[in-house]
Each structure stands twice: as structure tokens, then as C-alpha cells.
Amino acid sequence: MPAGCSAPKCTNSNKDGYCCTTFAQDPNLRQKWIDAAGVPDWKPSKSALLCEVGTEAYKFYNLNLNFIM
């Protein structure tokens, strides 16, 4: 099932070969992921996904990130 990035102005999706991730449900961890995405004042939905492009992916590896392919 195709899954697209929820970041503003991003049209990447896993159907195009991009790795997309679901955000953490834990509020503290979720905020760390939002901060790492570098999008000011972004309030992603509970079902939001983030792609690998435009992020410093290495920041996520220590945050128990799960990838959806």
C-alpha cells in the first residue's frame, strides 16, 4: 500500500522507492522527530509519515525509528 510523506511541500512516497516512517506515539519522542525534521511550527497528524529526503536520517537511528517499505 503506497504511503506518502506528510512533510509540507513533499510529494515523496514509498511507491517511488523512498523510505517513509510513522511518527512515534510517545509525545516526547514524537517531538524529537518533529524537531529533527527541521520544519518550524509543524503539527503532523497522528497518522503522519516522514520520508528520508530532507532529513538528517542519522538522528533517527537512536530514536527507535521503524521504517515502512
Average pLDDT over residues 4-33: 85
Q: Is pLDDT at 67 greater than 70 in this prediction?
A: no
Statement: the pTM of the whole predicted model exceeds 0.85: no
Burial 17-38 (b: 16+ CB within 10 A, else e): ebbbbbbbeeeeebebbbebbe
Per 3-state DSSP, the chain is made up of helix, strand and coil in percentages (nearest 5) of 30, 15, 55
Average pLDDT over residues 38-45: 82
pLDDT tens readout for residues 25-40: 888 888 887 887 777 7
Band (69; pLDDT cuts 50, 70, 90) = very low
